[in-house]
Structure 1
Amino acid sequence: MEKQSKSNDLVSKANSGLRTECLSFTEVIAQSIANIAPSATPAFTIPLVFALSGNGSWLTYVFATIAIALVGHHINQFAKRSSSPGALYTYVGEGLGGRAGFISGWALILGYVLTGTATLAAFSSFLNTIGEYFGITIPSVLAIIIGIILAWFVVSRDVKISAKLMLVLEGISLTLIFILGAIVVVQSGFKLDMTQLSLEGVSFDSLRLGLVLAFFSFVGFESATSLGHEAKNPLKNIPKSVITSAVFVGFIFVLFSYIEVLGFIGSETSLGETAAPLSYLADKTGFGFMGFIISIGATVSFWSCTVACITASARVILTMSQDNIISSTLGKTHSKHKTPYVSINLLAIVSLVIPVILSLCGIDTMEIFSWLGTIATLGFLFSYAMIVISAPVYLAKINQLKKSNMILSAITMAILLIPIIGSVYPLPAYPFNIFPFIFLAWIVIGGIWYEFSNATQSSLSKELDKDAVVNIRN
């Protein structure tokens, strides 16, 4: 049975059309880190969290990091036993069956696509910030077009190239941000900010509201799972990438939420009111030139996130196509580059059209980022909740369920419910009040699509359940 299972796994990888076992651990983790875009959070998201959580911003990110690590633990119950480019779509299917797996994957695709388009809009905004240093204004539509063409070109080629490029660019950007952070700490005299540590002026509601935004900083941390066929030693490197990326970027977010609040002490401008906190801190500390360099880093980070989102979502779509749920055309891979080029082309077009239409309607690029990012977060939270529910069911099927697994699942769901409920209650002001209904409509459409998909879907659930048992024997 073991030899037969390994043989079936090799056939599955060959049939996917992707380049097999070509990515090292560093290249695999680059996918998750690029999808998180850690340089973008200190540059943009932390001020938004501060506007809600105030001096408790660092604690908000502590809670978010713990929650994401717990979600990662549940993802790894699958990732250390089986590998597939279908990511959470396949994992949830292994636990709860084909229908639940598809709905989870459907929500995940929405999360990836809208995150990629949101960061493309942010790329446009930050590209103009760089242009201001030279007195140049780049039309938003043109900047978006430039960003998506570059992203499409990189993703369509060798997956190793895009992984290495994202890792190098994000590494340079984070290094610069750490240097600026160190300067702020040194100039503060290494004194602890007791107003933050004592949570002055912080309430449970402020932490709860900030947690919704803090979660958006992490979404996509699991995208390394979409490299199930392309990673070397996937049952080891993918689980390690999922947890390492979550804890690593969580540390960065906690640290810089504290440092940025510290750096704005005594400033006339509030952290929650500035659109470029790192540039402001660079000017304040006397290292204004670093603001320009960091702006370049943030621009690249947003673009890298778009690349990572297209990379991950294209592989989920590829798997769905090869499972006969959606058009077989989307399951085609390039004969030379071994990439899912048809899915990539479709995603590039969608990622271009959405922000361009919104921009032509006169909507500011950072508003586009906020709107699309909010809907995307709902998609990820839904998929994360599904994987948390699925994990203990999956472990029960393979006779490896323990009480600790059930307890951790209950704790993780309780934490996830905070941002999930916080996104819809109390219902936010327009247009954010309609976003939950847009997401719900997407889920309904997915459910209808599944029910009317190819007749082979009637056996998909059984196949996934069977795979769950076969993979554990590998």
Structure 2
Amino acid sequence: MVSTSPEVASHAITPGKGLKRNYLSFSEIVAQSIGTIAPSGTPGLVISVVFATAGNGTWLAYAFATIALLIVAFQINVFATRVATPGALYVYAGLGLGPFLGVISGWALLIGYVFTAAAVINGTVYTSLAVFHSLGVTTLDTVLNYGIAVIATFAAWWLAYRDIRLSTRTTLAIELTTIVLILALVAGYFIHRQSIIDEPQLHLEEVDFDKLRLGLVLAFFSFVGFESAAVLGAEAKDPHRLIPRSVIVSVIGVGLLFIIASYGLTSGFRGANPPLSTAEAPLTTLANTFGAGTVGFLVSIGVALSFFACILGSINAAARVLYTLSHHGLFHRTARSTHATNSTPHIAVTLVAIIALVHAVALTFGGWGLLDGYGILGSIATYGFLVSYFLVSLGAPLYLRQQGSLKFYHVLSSAAAIVLLAVVLVGTVYPVPAWPYNILPYVFLGLLGVGVAYFLLQRVIAPDQLVAVENDLLGTPPAVKG
């Protein structure tokens, strides 16, 4: 049972006061979102999966996904321009829809970040093994499998435990370096080819609506986590201005990278064997087609590091959501602790890292391949993001109405976001996917149900604590800006 003492209640309505205030710059805030997206990992692994469905429409699927996520970003920024909190979409949905749906959003978001961390542990191992294989090391896969998982998780935990600025700067250095290498590689390919025109892609040859729709669903998954800059609301400088900018910049910048990389890879693999859909290291293969093998090797290392950066970003984001839930009495109170020297939510960081590692390693130990584990864990995570995005998009116009700021275009953009998210959600369950993906929605609902059940239990056994939650989510609204 959670204590309902006045001390706990006062803590419950001031989440974030133990974190470092006015600490992070714009580039460091952007790095949090970029790191959680792991943009370098998409050309290195995910674009191949999208191509298997969308074919010559892969670049267009990413263009549509970029537009769709921008519309969702506008809903998030309705709150981000007015509210600064480490609870991010949990608090946002609660402000618009009330505590019950806010808690659903919070638990869904927590599931999304934790299972993303678990998925990209497998992604880190897979892409690291590809680097070792390119060096001729092919007999130590079993040892490297578990060793890389533990070392990568420990390193991410240490950075997240030590300092949020150190975390975001590490992420920024990894991602910027790798993105520059990827863009240079694609540019080098087209210079070697002496043309950027690829008629089959521009004419969308052999692409129909169903293929493009399924490609859009898969492309959407590449962006999840773009909103994670919002968890730095208590630590950012000028959060009402810089966090909304970070969310938009993340979507646009990453979207352009995905469009360019997917166009280049689709063109570069035309007629190749193996095809793009089955290539283990597509960027390295592309580099080898025009004699840039060294750059391709460096990109492969960067892709592995990008997945590592995603572990780090996901742990940071999940820990701050868990930290806020704990302040509200919705998780054990130890998770609301901050380190006396580092001012990080160190208990929450440690719990998230352990849970993510256990899930990743358990699937490997159970005989699942690394890509299978990546897909399973990533799919569960995606359901969490979709639910949270949906609730925030639904709550945005309601919140603006409370503020007396609602305009027709707010309603229109909210409706567009909800429709687009519904299309993506339906695409994950229909047609019914093969096992085990057909049961993953129920696995997600079971996990979500645990958090919601705990909330309902607390409403019975600790009603005073829940009053603090309602005060935080439904109390005096902050002043409207702009």
SS of 1:107's equivalent?
Answer: helix
Other-structure match for 1:439: 444
Shift of 1:281: 0.5
Classify 1:29/1:347 alpha carbon distance in 2 versus 1 (closer, same or farther; 3 Å).
Answer: same
Classify 1:460/1:279 alpha carbon distance in 2 versus 1 (closer, same or farther; 3 Å).
Answer: same
**Distance in 2 (alpha carbons) for counterparts of 1:424 and 1:83:** 35
2:371 equivalent to 1:366: yes
Check whether the contact 2:57–2:204 (CA below 8 A) recurs between aligned residues. Answer: yes
Shift of 1:467: 4.1
CA deviation string 1:243-296 (max 9, x = no partner): 110111001111111111111123232111212110110111111122211111
Other-structure match for 1:343: 348
Other-structure match for 2:77: 76
CA deviation string 1:62-97 (max 9, x = no partner): 111011111110000000011000010010011111
Shift of 1:126: 1.4
Q: Aligned AA for 1:109?
A: L
Shift of 1:212: 1.7
Classify 1:256/1:15 alpha carbon distance in 2 versus 1 (closer, same or farther; 3 Å).
Answer: closer
Classify 1:282/1:95 alpha carbon distance in 2 versus 1 (closer, same or farther; 3 Å).
Answer: same
Q: Aligned AA for 2:67?
A: I
- Bigger drift between 137-146 and 407-416 goes to 137-146
Shift of 1:114: 0.7
Q: Aligned AA for 1:456?
A: D
2:35 equivalent to 1:34: yes
Other-structure match for 2:304: 299
Q: How does 1:23-172 map to 2 (within 5 A)?
A: 23-136=24-137, 137-138=140-141, 139=143, 140-172=145-177
Shift of 1:470: 2.8
Other-structure match for 1:456: 464
Point out where structure 1 has 5 or more consecutive residues left out of the alignment.
Answer: 1-10
SS of 2:478's equivalent?
Answer: helix
Other-structure match for 2:478: 470
Shift of 1:123: 0.5
Check whether the contact 2:15–2:85 (CA below 8 A) recurs between aligned residues. Answer: no
Check whether the contact 1:324–1:456 (CA below 8 A) recurs between aligned residues. Answer: no
Shift of 1:351: 1.2
Other-structure match for 1:213: 218
Shift of 1:458: 4.1
Other-structure match for 2:9: none
Check whether the contact 1:18–1:338 (CA below 8 A) recurs between aligned residues. Answer: yes
Other-structure match for 2:426: 421
Check whether the contact 2:13–2:472 (CA below 8 A) recurs between aligned residues. Answer: no
Shift of 1:133: 3.5
Shift of 1:15: 5.9
2:194 equivalent to 1:189: yes
Q: How many residues align?
A: 466
Shift of 1:465: 4.7
Check whether the contact 1:394–1:468 (CA below 8 A) recurs between aligned residues. Answer: no
CA deviation string 1:437-469 (max 9, x = no partner): 111212222221110123235425642454462
**Distance in 1 (alpha carbons) for counterparts of 2:206 and 2:410:** 37
Classify 1:206/1:457 alpha carbon distance in 2 versus 1 (closer, same or farther; 3 Å).
Answer: farther
2:265 equivalent to 1:260: yes
Classify 1:473/1:279 alpha carbon distance in 2 versus 1 (closer, same or farther; 3 Å).
Answer: closer
**Distance in 2 (alpha carbons) for counterparts of 1:186 and 1:418:** 38
Shift of 1:368: 0.7
**Distance in 2 (alpha carbons) for counterparts of 1:457 and 1:427:** 42
CA deviation string 1:337-368 (max 9, x = no partner): 00001111111111111111111112111111
Check whether the contact 2:127–2:304 (CA below 8 A) recurs between aligned residues. Answer: yes
Other-structure match for 2:3: none
SS of 2:274's equivalent?
Answer: coil
Shift of 1:104: 0.4
Match of 1:201 among 196, 200, 206: 206
Check whether the contact 2:55–2:207 (CA below 8 A) recurs between aligned residues. Answer: yes
Other-structure match for 1:8: none
Shift of 1:134: 3.4
Check whether the contact 1:314–1:343 (CA below 8 A) recurs between aligned residues. Answer: yes
**Distance in 2 (alpha carbons) for counterparts of 1:473 and 1:39:** 35
CA deviation string 1:12-66 (max 9, x = no partner): 7786311111000000000000111110000000010000001111110111101
2:313 equivalent to 1:308: yes
Q: Aligned AA for 1:86?
A: G
Q: Aligned AA for 2:42?
A: T
Shift of 1:227: 0.2
Q: Aligned AA for 1:141?
A: Y
**Distance in 2 (alpha carbons) for counterparts of 1:79 and 1:370:** 31
Aligned-pair identity in percent equals 40
Point out where structure 2 has 5 or more consecutive residues left out of the alignment.
Answer: 1-11
**Distance in 2 (alpha carbons) for counterparts of 1:179 and 1:370:** 29
TM-score (norm 1): 0.95
**Distance in 1 (alpha carbons) for counterparts of 2:411 and 2:385:** 22
TM-score (norm 2): 0.93
SS of 1:82's equivalent?
Answer: coil
Shift of 1:129: 1.6
Check whether the contact 1:279–1:295 (CA below 8 A) recurs between aligned residues. Answer: yes
SS of 1:472's equivalent?
Answer: coil
- Bigger drift between 86-95 and 13-22 goes to 13-22
**Distance in 2 (alpha carbons) for counterparts of 1:430 and 1:15:** 41
RMSD (Å) for aligned C-alpha atoms: 1.8
**Distance in 1 (alpha carbons) for counterparts of 2:15 and 2:266:** 51
SS of 1:469's equivalent?
Answer: coil
**Distance in 2 (alpha carbons) for counterparts of 1:456 and 1:219:** 35
Q: Aligned AA for 1:185?
A: F
Check whether the contact 1:98–1:464 (CA below 8 A) recurs between aligned residues. Answer: no
Shift of 1:130: 1.7
Check whether the contact 1:155–1:162 (CA below 8 A) recurs between aligned residues. Answer: yes
SS of 1:267's equivalent?
Answer: coil
Check whether the contact 1:82–1:472 (CA below 8 A) recurs between aligned residues. Answer: no
